[in-house]
A and B are shown apart, each in its own frame.
Chain A
Amino acid sequence: MIPTTNATGVAARVIDLTKVYGSGQAEVRALDGVTLDLYAGQFTAVMGPSGSGKSTLMHCCAALDEVTSGSVLLGDVDLSTLKDKELTRLRRDRIGFVFQSFNLVPTLTAEENILLPLSIAGGKPDPEWYALVIETVGLADRLTHRPNELSGGQQQRVAVARALASRPSIVFADEPTGNLDSRAGAEILQLLKRSVDEFGQTVVMVTHDPVAAGYTDRVVFLADGKVVEQMREPTAELVLERMAQFAASQSVQG
């Protein structure tokens, strides 16, 4: 399979990104000047304690939330210049999503869910690519089932298939294994990793699980709305170790 973007290219670029909620006394700086490149063809994990701004960062990158200042470039497109209609189209055509829970439309079959972004756009899947995705997620015999007839792991595999079906420039996954047992979680992570390694997809995953981070190519650590550390070729042990250090330094500071 030919990668959709050059492995050394940048899929998304975050420049001096600030996100402030509320104002005055109640002001919260969720992101405080984050600058970051998300490389194409890489599996990136964003980690940090709760309140560190990792979810906000993902939402801003995924055109789900507006930024206060700074900019997000998806490919060549500056998200801050787009209106709601264009942002919607961008999400539909160029971004894939996997959420922690409630990923599927309960009234549609697995197959309809997978094809939903494409059918909303009025398009048809590339048959070869679609066959490949279905085979990869291993759901060929479950396509006519409704979400409530599938296990949590299976549902999440359908969500991954949906995220990949339109061959997006970038897939965002928000705690995709948060609601799963470890075996099902491992399957999902394998799936995401394969999509990067074999199909050249770009995946950005928000997680607080060091094991999940261990599957990725690179980990970005966030704390108090800032990027505090990056780690290449992480393993679960290394990540765990680094997190413990953070926790220690935080408690010393606190």
Chain B
Amino acid sequence: MLKVTWRNLIARKLRLLLSAFAIVLGVAFVAGSLIFTDAMGGAFDDIIEGSTADVEIAYEGANDFDSVQDSRVIPASVVEELEKLPEADGVYPSTMLQSVFVIGSDDKVVGGSGPPGLAFNPTEAEAITGKQIITLKDGALPDGPEEVALDVATAEKAGYDVGDTVTLVTPGKPPSMEAELTGLVEFGSGGLNGATLTLFETEFMQDSFFEGKDVYSAISLNTAEGVSQAELAAAAQEVLPKGVVARTGDDVVAKNQAGIDEIMGFLNTFLLVFAAVSLVVGTFLIINTFSILVAQRSRELALLRALGASRRQVNRSVLLEAFGVGVVGSTLGLLGGYLLALGLKALFGLLGLDLAGAEFPVNPSTIIASYAVGIIVTVFAAYLPARRASSIAPVQALRDDTAMPESSLRVRVAVGGTLILAGAASMAAGLAEVGGEVLVEIGLGMLGVLIGVALLSPLIARPVIKAFGALFRPFGTVGRLATENSLRNPRRTAATASALMVGLALMAMMSILGSSASASTDEAIEQTLTSEFVVSNVIGQPFSTDVAEQIRDLDSVETVASLRYANPDVKGGGTAWMGAIDPDDFSDVMQVPMVQGTLAALDEGKVLIASQPAERGGHEVGDKVTLEFQGGDVEVEVAGIIAATGALPAEWLVTQDTLDKGGLAPLDSMLFVTKTPGASTADLREGVEKITEDLPTVTLKDPQEFAEEQKGQINLFLRMIYGLLVLSVLIAILGVVNTLALSVIERTREVGLLRAIGLSRAQLRTMIRLESIVIAVFGALLGLGMGLAFGLALMQALEDEGLTAVVVPWLTLLAFVLVAAVVGVLAAVFPARRAARLDVLRAITTE
């Protein structure tokens, strides 16, 4: 039997290759996600290890990987104390900033779209890797005011050479400054993952950014000969003021790596969700391919049975074949995954995450996961066809027209119906936020409904395809033949279409969410934003408070309300998306809709919470909530509940003193500007633009532009999701190609007959093209139906989140259908050509 299996694999190379391709793509996505996140984690590990000294001293929470600019400083006297320690070989105090950006010679900001703009003083500290944290590569280190050194990559991107004058945006006053580039340095292990590094002389930094005081934000220590990290840390801790901690380098690395792993874990999950979608689609395709292959081989299988092969042997033969396909597919998928990881690297490079120096390792865990997923999915998908194959009666071998025993549709209806109901229930539970894993519930619910619909789709296929018959009438007999061909095996047509359905359902759902979110944003901004202008950075990168002060000085300005961001953890669970405001100023620029209390009730030590997070955390008016800032815990009292609105860019509102208490340095993220009654809008714009002109990191927007910017974010996100879903559509197209190609092979004699009695090659191609369109458009219609249902259900659930406007983008959905039709035409190219090339004579004499 092994020999027969092997022969089958070889004899059907092409068909198996096509179905293996589905596995290749699915596995490639899994492997690519894993390799990419490994590479990214590795790159961050290198940065962390390469920039951490034996002992690191800072205020608790101020020097973590995800810390924002901290306002707490260590006096210079501490440095003197530390220098007296015999355990320390070197004491390197540092002044550090996180939002210093380099303006390139093309007047564009370098980086600044996510990764921080780091700035500190030159340090001679050695990292735990044994390498200098900062290595001079060219020129000299800055040695006076208005001098700066840059990391090599940043200088290259900005187009600066040693000796050039560099423009910088800093959190100082004024925010824009120029400095001479004195040298180029390398940071830690080399890479910065897209962050930029600027070095200033210590005194200059203290003068410009630390109010001229001789203070530091952190201190790095290197151990003396024979002293362990722990010993040095313990000795150092003795002389440190309250709140400042000395931690061993190993500790710091471990803690920061854990933080990175969490972020990577999220990204990994996000990518693996799409890998799962691809695999579900791939499973459809493999089930279908194996069903067709088994059907075509039914006589051969019956012959094997007649010759004495047991049911188990036939079963095993098919499964073994699937195993072979799985192995080959997984291997190719692993290779494809590596390429995909490189593609993701390029994609994330566009988003600001520069992984140029990162290694892309293929870890054993990636290899194991790829093969496990590929083989299990293939064998699982082949199981049903294999069982059907083994249930064929030996007597079939002697019959003229051998047909596979087909399972009754009644079983399908029962299973499919149950799955749809269970899926819908799970979705409903998820949407109603019953139980813990909301996303898992919704995701599994959707999967259940999709598979259920796929099972029932042969029933739906008949009436829908009949309707196509009417549409194809202009094609005459050719159209009629195409329609009849698609109806010939509704299961096959439906299974092929179902694969396309999955991707399109998700795309349609996302398009509904996206356009509704856009519309809700428009609506909310129109209704609540009363300021003339908004000054902000698109991704909330903070900027100097000097900007607000300068704008405030303009004659035409009535109010400048600033909003500062913070993301403290909330005691009891969750992270707060928090904005700090001045309630007086803010009431001038935005009408914050309240469920309970008023905006004016916000005061020092108080907090306003949006209804959703308040409900989730069980916070009520009058309750005390503890916010865990990096500089320590701050207790606030809930003074009111905010109604959800898409315009307010925060869910928690506090006053700015709360952030000060939390140890956060004062940096604005957003300014809302209103004009004095008599002033002209144009004058105001001119005035503000003059101030922000030198700061490419911030821009001025009127409410409409502000809305456009917000929607731009939504659209970017949508496009990324579409991009990832296109992969599943691609797999589905392969499914259509596969089904058509196999059908053509199956119908060789019929094709021969049609050609013999006068069907031209062009007509034959048209016939197959139309058949392909039927499958593709049927799949698209199913998908859009599902997507519409999912999207509207989700909108219902998200109404509380501020998505009040429900917009179904009919034009986009129509475009999806048209694209599906085009996809159908493309999918038919290969099978149609194959059919047209069939030798008429050989075709009609085929057995």
A and B are partners in one complex rather than unrelated chains: yes
* A117 with B761, Cβ < 8 A, contacts A107-B484, A108-B484, A122-B476 known: no
Q: How far is the CA of A92 from the CA of B844 in the complex (A)?
A: 16
Within 8 A of A (CB), among B727-770: 749-750, 753-761, 763
Within 8 A of A (CB), among B829-847: 840-841, 844
Q: How far is the CA of A103 from the CA of B754 in the complex (A)?
A: 9
Q: How far is the CA of A178 from the CA of B757 in the complex (A)?
A: 20
B424 at the interface (CB under 8 A from A): no
Q: Is A4 an interface residue (CB 8 A)?
A: no
Cβ A102 vs Cβ B757 within 8 A: no
Chain B contacts for A108, CB-based, 8 A: 480-481, 484
* A150 proximal to B (CB < 8 A): no
Known: A64-B840, A88-B758, A88-B760. A112 touches B480 (CB 8 A): yes
A59 to B485 CA separation, bound complex (whole angstroms): 28
Known: A85-B760, A102-B750. A59 touches B476 (CB 8 A): no
Give chain A interface residues in 64-82, CB to chain B under 8 Å. 64-65
Instruction: Tell me, yes or no, whether A145 is within 8 Å of chain B by CB.
Output: no
A84: B residues at CB distance < 8 A: 761
The answer on a CB contact under 8 Å between B753 and A117 is: no
- How far in angstroms is the closest Cβ of chain A from B91? 88
Bound: A105/B750 CA distance, A: 6
Contact with A91, one of B476, B485, B750, B757 (Cβ below 8 angstroms): B757
Closest to B488 in A: A107
> Chain A contacts of B755 at CB under 8 A?
88
Q: Which residues of chain A are near B488, meaning CB under 8 Å?
A: 106-107
**Cβ contact within 8 Å between A97 and B757:** yes
Q: Is A89 an interface residue (CB 8 A)?
A: yes
B550 touches A (CB below 8 Å)? no
Write out the residue numbers on chain A whose beta carbons fall within 8 Å of the beta carbon of B763.
120
B473 to chain A, nearest CB (A): 12
C-alpha gap A158/B841 in the complex (Å): 22
The minimal Cβ–Cβ distance linking A251 to chain B, given in whole angstroms, is 29
A120–B759 contact, CB under 8 A? Answer: yes
- A107–B747 alpha-carbon span in the complex (Å): 12
Q: Is B487 an interface residue (CB 8 A)?
A: yes
Q: Is A217 an interface residue (CB 8 A)?
A: no
Residues of chain B within 8 A (CB-CB) of A91 are 756-758
Q: Which residue of B lies closest to A107 (CB)?
A: B484
Interface string of A85-117 (1 = CB under 8 A from B): 100110111000101001111111000100011
Interface SS of chain B: helix, strand, loop or mixed?
helix
Cβ of B477 < 8 Å from any Cβ of A?
Answer: yes
Question: Does any Cβ of B come within 8 Å of A162's Cβ?
Answer: yes
Tell me, rounded to whole Å, the shortest Cβ–Cβ distance linking B609 to chain A.
65
Min CB gap A249→B, angstroms: 30
Whether A116 contacts B757 in the complex (CB less than 8 A), given A107-B485, A107-B488, comes out as: yes
Residue of B nearest to A148 (CB): B401
Do B844 and A99 have beta carbons less than 8 Å apart? yes
How far in angstroms is the closest Cβ of chain B from A173? Answer: 13
Contacting residues, chain A, for B484 (C-beta < 8 A): 107-108
Give the shortest distance, in Å, between A26 (CB) and chain B (any CB): 17
**Number of B residues, CB within 8 Å of A:** 24
Q: Is A182 an interface residue (CB 8 A)?
A: no
Q: Tell me the minimal C-beta distance from B692 to chain A in angstroms.
A: 69
| Contact A162 B757, CB 8 Å, known A99-B844, A120-B763 | yes
Q: How far is the CA of A180 from the CA of B647 in the complex (A)?
A: 81
Please measure, in the bound complex, the distance between the C-alpha atom of A159 and the C-alpha atom of B714, giving whole angstroms.
62
> Once the chains bind, are A92 and B758 in contact (CB under 8 Å)?
yes
Inter-chain contacts of B760 with A (CB < 8 A) = 85, 88-89, 92, 120
Least CB distance from B784 to A in Å reads 28
Distance from A162 Cβ to chain B, minimum over Cβ atoms (Å)? 7
Q: For residue B480, which residues in chain A have a CB less than 8 angstroms away from its CB?
A: 108, 112
Separation of A92 and B757 alpha carbons in the complex (Å)? 5
Question: A50 contacts the other chain (Cβ, under 8 Å)?
Answer: no
Query: Would A119 and B476 be within 8 Å (CB), given that A64-B841, A88-B758, A105-B481 are in contact?
Result: yes
A121 within 8 Å of B by Cβ? yes
In the complex, A64→B487 CA distance in Å? 30
A92, A102, A107, A112, most chain B CB atoms within 10 A: A107
Chain A residues with Cβ below 8 Å from B476 are: 119, 122
Knowing A107-B488, A119-B477, A120-B477, the reply to whether A88 touches B761 (Cβ < 8 A) is yes
Give the residues in chain A near B841, CB-CB below 8 Å. 59, 64-65
How far is it, in angstroms, between the C-alpha of A102 and the C-alpha of B746 when the chains are bound?
A: 14
B402 CB to closest chain A CB (Å) equals: 14
Chain A residues closer than 8 Å to B749, beta-carbon distance: 102
Q: Is the CB of A121 within 8 A of B481?
A: no
Bound complex: CA of A88 vs CA of B750, how far in Å?
A: 16
Q: A64-B841, A107-B487, A112-B480 are known contacts. Are A102 and B753 too (CB-CB below 8 A)?
A: yes
Name 10 extra pairs, CB < 8 A, besides A105-B481, A119-B476, A120-B758. A65-B841, A92-B757, A97-B757, A99-B753, A106-B750, A107-B487, A108-B480, A120-B478, A120-B759, A121-B758
**Cβ-closest 9 pairs across A and B:** A92-B758, A107-B484, A119-B477, A88-B760, A91-B758, A117-B757, A117-B758, A64-B841, A102-B749
13 inter-chain pairs at a CB distance below 8 angstroms, sorted by A residue, are: A64-B756, A64-B844, A84-B761, A92-B759, A99-B753, A102-B753, A105-B481, A105-B753, A112-B480, A116-B754, A117-B758, A120-B760, A122-B476
